[in-house]
Chains A and B, each alone.
Chain A
């Protein structure tokens, strides 16, 4: 429409102005988040209040779903153009001709409601939320956009869909609800890390976690604390992924929405930090109107998703004696010579002991979560204030995680041109950890035999060492405390009607205070050791944005120019104490030997950003962006990277030729995008050759610590995305489908160099990696009546990860990574982190021996391999080949939601298929009767036996020692389908009372799991053998000493005041 209106609005609010315009036009206005949506009225009614000749009138208040007065609602007499609009507090008054008329209440984002007036003079109405997906305002980097106009691949998740209540951190809630986002939880440890990959792993050695941006401020994800606070590496916990996750500091209840930027066109605005995708988190704002108070609490119980099957004492003795016999020994000598009687244990004691070591380290977990939020404000000032407490005792005995947090979000409009605001989050975390994974504890339950007691008769620990799970937990203290302050402050100035300027300063301060203590009974040298670690991370971010938005006829233009600078400094001081004269002394200061160490590093980014969004008739859409990023992490000659992107959209359903289909397919858009993004997550000084210091006899020593590369530059990912967005049957069915092709060039590889240079690896740009696949998101409203609503959604991602080149003929056979097991590698033609294994060919049913296939396809028995090659190790070295795939090919979820009157419910299934893991520890567990005394998994009871005549694919047990070869026998599929979330609830609302609403819910998390993983895997979900989130791509295919995950039942209560 091309109508103009005249009016004088001095000192009037926007609301007043819009009401006036609405009255003079056939337009409706509706505030959605930070924007005003404009829509033609559904009928050509004139919205002036009707002055009837009759004196009868009807009035009332229109409420939203939270019982807040809803302004701007159209109240129209059905079949006429007469009506009115609710005021600021939701009030309306309307003269009516008679009592037989029906009023229609409508507002954008809400379901229409029709009410017969009858004899009533007061009619209060509550409108249900119904935000049409295409009209949603989606947060993009440095701005927002209406979804129907978007040309790139962005998924929006609102709080209602975020299933984060029972996850360690909010990002875990993305699992199964955003296509293309792979979420893997690493452990049941409180606050532990979650691995997130968006459209596959885009790097080999650089950090592959997405960039998290909270209210516009990029956040350092990863671990808060260090896992190796001093001393020899063996003295500590080696469980980096278990360390407290920075992102767990954010209270999920404070999140309004999350946007996941998946394709390069969307993420390119974040340039060098967008290669892994971007997750934008928007926290809640207050809304003008009555002050709202929400009090919520939940209490949950949890247990392990799976108890691994180990042998009991009787089963162990049967099998151990069988192994002893099979090795040619006399069973009569078993007790005296087999080595099972340790630490003074007698045969009689062993025979009457049956310890379930799993029971000793697991417990029923409890979690309590409390939130209070107060929000509201006036026309000029809005606020959101919240406080939260989480108190969790996990299923791992001794593990306790507490979080105390508060948030204040304030926005204030000084005048029509100038507005200011700020966000401030304070979080304190007290995390009492227990060892897991390599560090022991629950991951060491196989290290102890069921015939061994936990304690001796005198109360001391039996067979005490770090490998004794109970002693390992009881005699070690890991207490990680942290304080995080996350804040940002802005002012926005409207220079011209179409031109605005926003300056925003953000800061992120993180202080950690860790304490570690290990009793001498579980250290390798027998002395107690302790350390304190104090870390400080300080980052700031300052960005300045100029935005120009203007429509020229049917041409709409949105221009953005911005600069951004960011600096981040990390400092770490640790004090390590060794040898305490008294068991009550635990602080390093009281130790006989005290060592201190210090670390410090800084990085900075300087960026210039431009973006233009253009559309013609809302039908032909174009977006172009460009970002120039400079980073201190690269050599002076290669500091700057340039990241352009372009995306196009065509709303075909608006074309005339589409009109025949338009009654069914009411919206259909084709999207195309291409862009470049970068990855700079390689540490701060990789480009420099540096010599580190050491100490020899109290003298300072020097040794080369890094060989730099002046030419070290950006890892660049290009991504082509072609997609469609559609809506059928007036939104009853909607969806998106995207095909993408991502190529990462100049991989920042841990390039193997000759160890004779003094280092074994240098960081170098070499090689290419691709991720190709598709995302599908389908939503449907299956039933929608006034009393019952059923909606469904399906997400699916297919992704194929492939290293296509390592860029140098010298490493055409791949890069072997030293991850403790030695068999995990990067090979051209295979996914990142593929296993290098000898192909296992089953058990020779005549001899009970394992057989293996050499590279020529010949099948050799274990003894033949040794005979031919001299040793099995040499055979293994000569016949390994890449196998397996640590990355799932298909991931997704199926969700159904129901509303029946005041009841509601939902269930979400998630799945991942196509991934495999090599359990490097299984070889030890399947030869547990030699020097290493281990309790094997229960399937070993079915091992091959010459006497029973049954066939078995588990080789004959014997008392030989373990050789740590890697074969495909222990390469397992971990496909799974999981009932991730099952919720039922009851929600009541009331008006005019102190309590405006009560919501009671019961939620089950991970209630059911169907998996191909063997039953000696704690859980099909884990993150691979290399525990650091920063570098866990290479070792992603190896599993070693896993730890359990939890399933929970949670009772929740929300009270709105």
Chain B
């Protein structure tokens, strides 16, 4: 019996092997499994998911900096409204942008050339990957790029490992990269079997990029190509553009939302949450004393009467009446405005096509304001600044980017007094700081590395 017990005890002590400690996760994937076409496609879908907060943050933050909005009850957004840009909020945008870039760059790090897929399938992958890189870097450069010193965010073309160290790129280097990327996207979309985005979305984004890079001939060419393609049409009623879920044929590229994606991840969720027409929830309403309001609040303009509402205290922006909708990233109206302005600048004069572009939007919003004659260049450019602000207000930060492009002044904060501060006064002040950790780890500085 004792022997039996001793054998039993010995057996029990020695019965368990190291394999008892092998418990790989049943959920999620490890990097070594991301080797096929489906994985590359999934990475792209993942990146599109990751840019949802990135784009909506741009829109909200810039509206605050322009003081086009009143912030009712979100102290953290006062950073922008009060022109005290801290890393608390901007770090989120930096992180979400680079997170999406990291996902896209994983595709470039993998051996796509040797992946089992047709050339058209590979082209589709590359097209979306280049498109996303152009989109993300364009916005990063807009907010972190320092036009005075000429330095901007680091340029990463491959995933960054935790031990890698990088330095700031120059704004010219990054601008060039963005343009190369968007052209690469256009090239591959032409060869692609299909894509998440498409050729015209890339072309429209190219028009926007060139426009804000002040390469007006290219901006004109790309905008013109989109307009003349016949693929898209302006809505006759501007409010139809914003009818949920956002399938208007005026929209060239949208960041998608599908209810099965999960609540709380809608690309328009954050914007809707901010602007919703309620005095108790939501936190942004239009600053009736702001620059944009002065142009927008026109009772004869459908862009105001149809897309804004008010109560005794506030004027609400109602472009996003629900969070259950796509985020309209580029629409045809912008292409008309871009084509017109680019053409006027390139030609240094105004022609009938430019007037037609302006009138295309004025006729549907306020026919009485349609041009009946060809204005002077300066008149036309002033009109376009106003029309652009009215048309695209609170959508993607266009008012801020256009003000920056034109080096206009920005309304002062209460602490600074009345009037406007000049471009030279605000350009460095409103530059987004690098996250503290990035400075600590990489020693990032825009004053030259």
Taking Cβ atoms with an 8 Å cutoff, the residues of A that contact B are: 230-235, 339, 342-343, 463-466, 468, 493, 495-496, 501, 503, 524-526, 529, 544, 546, 561, 563, 565, 567, 576, 578, 592-593, 595, 597-606, 608, 630-632, 639, 684-685, 688-705, 707, 752-760, 762, 810-811, 813, 816, 822, 866, 870-874, 876-877, 924, 931-933, 960-964
A962's partner among B43, B75, B166, B282 (CB-CB below 8 A) is: B75
A544 to B10, CA, bound (A): 10
Asked if residues B46 and A501 are in contact (CB atoms below 8 Å), the reply is no
In the complex, residue of chain B having the shortest beta-carbon distance to the beta carbon of A591: B263
A704 to B429, CA, bound (A): 34
Which residues of A sit under 8 angstroms from B85, Cβ to Cβ?
A: 871, 873
Asked if residues B160 and A756 are in contact (CB atoms below 8 Å), the reply is yes
Identify 15 residue pairs between A and B in the complex whose beta-carbon atoms are under 8 Å apart, listed by A's number: A230-B262, A232-B265, A234-B264, A495-B6, A561-B13, A595-B260, A689-B31, A693-B28, A695-B265, A701-B43, A702-B42, A704-B102, A755-B94, A810-B440, A873-B79
Which residues of A sit under 8 angstroms from B324, Cβ to Cβ?
A: 593
In the complex, residue of chain A having the shortest beta-carbon distance to the beta carbon of B27: A600
* B147 in the interface (beta carbon within 8 A): no
In the complex, residue of chain A having the shortest beta-carbon distance to the beta carbon of B281: A465
Which residues of B sit under 8 angstroms from A924, Cβ to Cβ?
A: 75
A529 to B263, CA, bound (A): 10
Asked if residues B49 and A688 are in contact (CB atoms below 8 Å), the reply is no
A950 to B26, CA, bound (A): 68
Contact with A along B267-300 (1 / 0, CB 8 A): 0010011001011111000000000000000000
A676 to B429, CA, bound (A): 53
* B309 in the interface (beta carbon within 8 A): no
B window 8-42: CB within 8 A of A = 8-9, 12-13, 16, 18, 20-31, 34, 39, 41-42
A530 to B429, CA, bound (A): 44
Asked if residues B263 and A595 are in contact (CB atoms below 8 Å), the reply is yes
Asked if residues B166 and A756 are in contact (CB atoms below 8 Å), the reply is yes
Asked if residues B437 and A754 are in contact (CB atoms below 8 Å), the reply is yes
* B95 in the interface (beta carbon within 8 A): yes
Which residues of A sit under 8 angstroms from B6, Cβ to Cβ?
A: 495
Asked if residues B81 and A698 are in contact (CB atoms below 8 Å), the reply is no
**In the complex with contacts A563-B12, A696-B261, A639-B21 CB distance below 8 A:** yes
Q: A862 CB to closest chain B CB, in angstroms?
A: 10
Asked if residues B280 and A465 are in contact (CB atoms below 8 Å), the reply is yes
Which residues of B sit under 8 angstroms from A603, Cβ to Cβ?
A: 23
Asked if residues B273 and A563 are in contact (CB atoms below 8 Å), the reply is no
A754's partner among B34, B278, B429, B441 (CB-CB below 8 A) is: B441
* B363 in the interface (beta carbon within 8 A): no
A529 to B45, CA, bound (A): 27
* B322 in the interface (beta carbon within 8 A): yes
Asked if residues B16 and A546 are in contact (CB atoms below 8 Å), the reply is no
- Count of B interface residues, CB-CB < 8 Å: 102
* B82 in the interface (beta carbon within 8 A): yes
Which residues of A sit under 8 angstroms from B70, Cβ to Cβ?
A: 931
Asked if residues A525 and B323 are in contact (CB atoms below 8 Å), the reply is yes
Asked if residues A593 and B102 are in contact (CB atoms below 8 Å), the reply is no
B20's partner among A501, A604, A702 (CB-CB below 8 A) is: A604
B75's partner among A466, A593, A877, A932 (CB-CB below 8 A) is: A932
Which residues of B sit under 8 angstroms from A961, Cβ to Cβ?
A: 71, 75, 78, 81-82
**In the complex with contacts A501-B5, A525-B276, A696-B48, A684-B23 CB distance below 8 A:** yes
Which residues of B sit under 8 angstroms from A762, Cβ to Cβ?
A: 162
Asked if residues A690 and B28 are in contact (CB atoms below 8 Å), the reply is yes
Which residues of B sit under 8 angstroms from A546, Cβ to Cβ?
A: 9
A684 to B24, CA, bound (A): 9
Which residues of B sit under 8 angstroms from A529, Cβ to Cβ?
A: 263
A503 to B70, CA, bound (A): 69
In the complex, residue of chain A having the shortest beta-carbon distance to the beta carbon of B21: A632
A230 to B261, CA, bound (A): 12
* B65 in the interface (beta carbon within 8 A): no
Asked if residues B22 and A632 are in contact (CB atoms below 8 Å), the reply is yes
Asked if residues B46 and A696 are in contact (CB atoms below 8 Å), the reply is yes
Which residues of B sit under 8 angstroms from A593, Cβ to Cβ?
A: 259, 263, 324
In the complex, residue of chain B having the shortest beta-carbon distance to the beta carbon of A707: B162
Asked if residues B2 and A496 are in contact (CB atoms below 8 Å), the reply is yes
Known A689-B30, A703-B100, A964-B76; further 15 A-B contacts with Cβ < 8 A = A496-B2, A501-B9, A561-B13, A593-B263, A606-B21, A630-B20, A693-B42, A698-B260, A755-B95, A756-B438, A757-B161, A758-B98, A758-B99, A760-B437, A874-B84
Which residues of A sit under 8 angstroms from B28, Cβ to Cβ?
A: 690-693, 705
Asked if residues B9 and A544 are in contact (CB atoms below 8 Å), the reply is yes
In the complex, residue of chain A having the shortest beta-carbon distance to the beta carbon of B428: A870
Q: B326 CB to closest chain A CB, in angstroms?
A: 9
Asked if residues B442 and A703 are in contact (CB atoms below 8 Å), the reply is no
Asked if residues A604 and B21 are in contact (CB atoms below 8 Å), the reply is yes
A171 to B24, CA, bound (A): 34
B23's partner among A544, A632, A699, A932 (CB-CB below 8 A) is: A632
Asked if residues A700 and B438 are in contact (CB atoms below 8 Å), the reply is no
A755's partner among B22, B39, B98, B272 (CB-CB below 8 A) is: B98
A230's partner among B5, B79, B263 (CB-CB below 8 A) is: B263
In the complex, residue of chain A having the shortest beta-carbon distance to the beta carbon of B311: A344
Asked if residues B87 and A697 are in contact (CB atoms below 8 Å), the reply is no
| 8 cross-chain pairs, A with B, having the tightest CB-CB distances, nearest first | A232-B264, A701-B46, A758-B102, A871-B84, A701-B45, A697-B256, A873-B86, A703-B46
Asked if residues B438 and A872 are in contact (CB atoms below 8 Å), the reply is no
Q: B150 CB to closest chain A CB, in angstroms?
A: 20
Which residues of A sit under 8 angstroms from B414, Cβ to Cβ?
A: 960
B264's partner among A231, A692, A932 (CB-CB below 8 A) is: A231
* B313 in the interface (beta carbon within 8 A): yes
Which residues of B sit under 8 angstroms from A872, Cβ to Cβ?
A: 84
**In the complex with contacts A544-B13, A546-B9, A756-B87 CB distance below 8 A:** no
Asked if residues B5 and A576 are in contact (CB atoms below 8 Å), the reply is no
* B392 in the interface (beta carbon within 8 A): no
**In the complex with contacts A756-B160, A758-B98, A758-B102, A606-B30 CB distance below 8 A:** no
A230 to B262, CA, bound (A): 8
Q: B109 CB to closest chain A CB, in angstroms?
A: 12
B29's partner among A544, A567, A691, A873 (CB-CB below 8 A) is: A691
Asked if residues B16 and A565 are in contact (CB atoms below 8 Å), the reply is yes
Which residues of B sit under 8 angstroms from A230, Cβ to Cβ?
A: 262-264
* B111 in the interface (beta carbon within 8 A): no
Which residues of B sit under 8 angstroms from A813, Cβ to Cβ?
A: 440
* B101 in the interface (beta carbon within 8 A): yes
In the complex, residue of chain A having the shortest beta-carbon distance to the beta carbon of B42: A702
Asked if residues A526 and B34 are in contact (CB atoms below 8 Å), the reply is no
A893 to B162, CA, bound (A): 48
Contact with A along B403-417 (1 / 0, CB 8 A): 000000000001100
Asked if residues B263 and A232 are in contact (CB atoms below 8 Å), the reply is yes
**In the complex with contacts A696-B49, A755-B435, A961-B71, A563-B13 CB distance below 8 A:** yes
Which residues of B sit under 8 angstroms from A234, Cβ to Cβ?
A: 264, 273
* B50 in the interface (beta carbon within 8 A): yes
Asked if residues A700 and B162 are in contact (CB atoms below 8 Å), the reply is no
Asked if residues A964 and B88 are in contact (CB atoms below 8 Å), the reply is yes
Asked if residues A810 and B263 are in contact (CB atoms below 8 Å), the reply is no
A25 to B256, CA, bound (A): 90
**In the complex with contacts A606-B16, A705-B28, A870-B103 CB distance below 8 A:** no
A597 to B44, CA, bound (A): 22
In the complex, residue of chain B having the shortest beta-carbon distance to the beta carbon of A529: B263
Which residues of A sit under 8 angstroms from B84, Cβ to Cβ?
A: 870-874, 963
In the complex, residue of chain A having the shortest beta-carbon distance to the beta carbon of B154: A756
* B72 in the interface (beta carbon within 8 A): yes
Residue in B47, B84, B264, B438 whose Cβ sees the most chain A Cβ within 10 Å = B264
Asked if residues A931 and B73 are in contact (CB atoms below 8 Å), the reply is yes
A757's partner among B102, B264, B276 (CB-CB below 8 A) is: B102
**In the complex with contacts A606-B21, A755-B91, A599-B280 CB distance below 8 A:** no
Which residues of B sit under 8 angstroms from A689, Cβ to Cβ?
A: 30-31
* B159 in the interface (beta carbon within 8 A): yes
**In the complex with contacts A232-B264, A932-B73, A688-B30 CB distance below 8 A:** yes
In the complex, residue of chain B having the shortest beta-carbon distance to the beta carbon of A597: B262
Residue in B5, B44, B258, B282 whose Cβ sees the most chain A Cβ within 10 Å = B5
